[in-house]
Amino acid sequence: MRLIQSLIVSALVLSFGFSAYAESPEEKAFRIAKENEKANSGFKGELSAMIMVLINAHGDKTNRKMTNFILERDNEGDLSINEFLWPADVKGTKLLTHAFKEKSDDQWLYLPALKKTKRISSRNKSGSFMGSEFSYEDMGSQEPEKFKWKYIEQSKMKKRDIHKMERVPTDEYSSYSKQVVYSDLEYKNPLKIEYFDKKGELLKVAMFGPYKKLYKGIYRPMKIHIKNVQTKKESILQWKKRKLGAKISKSKFDSTKLAGDGF
């Protein structure tokens, strides 16, 4: 009897120990998000050449050429700047973002036709970026601390292992009630994100890939294809060149110098 009692007590202790330290769905998702963030860190700087394709509900396409510079920061979100190179009606337009871990990003839009730099307020970050299905919010940082997380399940997508997680923006001015992220276990990046509007209805779906291993084994998508399921409009960001480990001067990200002659 003593042996049986001892086994029962041991089982109860082990059971209590495991339950006491078991991760909640919220803790697990946040841990994975932070692990993904760490796996994507250490690139120092990024230089990109991209094409943005706008597709209306009838399937008509408009192409634009862009450059993108990113400077990594250790204790905060990154600094980034996008500039349109072509066509003439958008040439010289620039979006500058100073990202932060928790608070709302600082963003400025330079419009060459008006020779004016406009600051994007927190209330307006749900607006369309240059007529695309990417909002200013999407063009900003996606720091794990800016969301409340919940783990849903581990499953497969296109024969790849993924974590399915839900994240709810903490920013009261976010245009999304929640996002569902399908994060690739190897790439440490999303294969798909579903965006839900304030009414809780599916608004748009973004697909990421193919992925390419770049500087120090960091994976980056070479294309993002986003579809608005409500308006039937689509936008594509496709990288023609994507270089990590680039040396970039911090002076490029000065909001008072956006009217300068490019890079």
Q: Give per-residue pLDDT as tens, 231-258.
A: 999 999 999 999 999 999 999 999 999 9
User: Is residue 74, in this structure, part of any structural domain at all?
Assistant: yes
Determine the Cα–Cα distance for residues 201 and 252; give it in Å rounded to an integer.
39
Tokens of 157: 């997508």
Residues of the chain with pLDDT below 50 are 18-20, 262-263
Name the helix (H) or strand (E) containing 132.
Answer: none
User: What's the predicted TM-score (pTM) here?
Assistant: 0.90
> What Cα–Cα distance (Å) separates residue 191 from each residue in 211, 218, 250?
9, 15, 31
Supply the CATH number for residue 67's domain. Answer: 2.50.20.10
Q: How many domains does the chain have?
A: 1
Closest CA to 167 of 142, 148, 152: 148
For residues 143 and 134, the answer to whether their CB atoms sit within 8 Å is no
Q: Is residue 19 assigned to a domain?
A: no
110, 133, 138: which is closest to 52 by C-alpha? Answer: 133
Question: Which tokens hold the place of 167?
Answer: 């994240």
8 Å CB contact between 237 and 50: yes
Note the pLDDT of residue 5. Answer: 58
Asked, for residue 20, whether it belongs to a domain, the answer is no
- Characterise 59 by phi-psi region: left (phi > 0), alpha (psi -120 to 50), beta (else): left
Q: How far is CA 190 from CA 158, 160, 208, in A?
A: 13, 11, 7
Separation CA 22–CA 13 (nearest Å): 14
CA distance 30 to 34: 6
Q: Is residue 145 part of a domain?
A: yes
Please provide the DSSP assignment of 11-44 as one string. HHHHHHHHHHHPPPHHHHHHHHHHHHHHHT----
Which residues, in sequence order, are CB contacts of 16 under 8 Å at separation 6+?
A: none
Residue 155, domain member (yes or no) = yes
Which stretches within 40-117 are classed as H helix?
Answer: none
pLDDT value for 75: 86
* Residue with the two structure tokens 């509900």: 57
CA dihedral (159, 160, 161, 166) in degrees, to 10, reads: -100
Please tell me the predicted confidence (pLDDT) of residue 260.
72
Give the rounded distance of the alpha carbon of 133 from its chain centre.
14
What pLDDT, in 10s, does the model give residues 4-35? Answer: 555 555 555 555 554 446 999 999 999 999 99
- Decide if 263 is inside a domain: no
Sign of the four-CA dihedral 139, 171, 71, 80: positive
**111 within a domain of the structure (yes/no):** yes
Stated as kind and residue range, the H or E segment containing 53 is strand 45-55
Instruction: List phi, psi (to 5°) of 203.
Output: -100, -50
Rounded distance between C-alpha atoms, residue 125 and residue 172, angstroms: 11
Is 90 part of a structural domain of the chain? yes
Six token digits for residue 220 = 């980056």
Domain that holds residue 104: 26-257
Q: Which of 188, 195, 140, 141 is nearest to 167 (CA)?
A: 195
